[in-house]
Amino acid sequence: MWHQKEIRLPAVQRGFHLITDLIEAQLPELEDIKVGLAHIFIRHTSASLTINEDVDPTVRQDFESHFNQMVPENASYYRHTSEGPDDMPAHLKAAILGSSVTVPITNGKFNLGTWQGIYLCEHRNHASKRWIVVTLTGTTA
């Protein structure tokens, strides 16, 4: 079985945002998969996806602080500056973190670890709504 769906995520402020529940709520087809995979891809170059700790909100704050220090705004060597000081750092952060994650599906649910969640990593200060493409594949119940 194959199923693909585009999901529009709400606009959020810059930072790391858990979207696991939002994705699952948009995929009733997930319930039909006994064993499979969900490939989740973001269609943007200034936001990214990752999987990490989903309980303690300070983890998300620390991610944002670390990436802002590691990839600063207004670096003198940036040439791509026409879209604002947060744009080139956003592209770099997205390249480091990546544009997709793959999650196993078991008995109709994402088979994530106890403390894991899927993050939308928003790297722009004033981003619009984002699009993800979710491709499901697997054996049906």
Q: Which CATH number fits domain 2-140: 3.30.930.10, 2.60.120.460, 3.40.50.1820, 3.40.50.300?
A: 2.60.120.460
Contact between 113 and 5 (Cβ < 8 Å): no
The neighbouring-strand residues paired with 4 are 135
Nearest to 85, CA basis, from 98, 71, 106, 64: 71
What confidence score (pLDDT) does residue 121 get?
Answer: 98
Q: Residue 85 and residue 25: Cα distance in Å, rounded?
A: 35
pLDDT tens track of the chain, all 141 residues? 999 999 999 999 999 999 999 999 999 999 999 999 999 999 999 999 999 999 999 999 999 999 999 999 999 999 999 999 999 999 999 999 999 999 999 999 999 999 999 999 999 999 999 999 999 999 996
Q: Which helix (H) or strand (E) element contains residue 18?
A: strand 15-18
Going from N- to C-terminal start, the domains of the chain cover 2-140
Q: Which residues of 40-62 are buried (b: 16+ CB within 10 A; e: fewer)?
A: bbbebebbbbbbbbbeeeebbee
Q: Phi/psi class of residue 138: alpha, beta or left (left: φ > 0; alpha: ψ in -120 to 50)? A: left
- Rounded CA-CA distance 63/68 in Å is 8
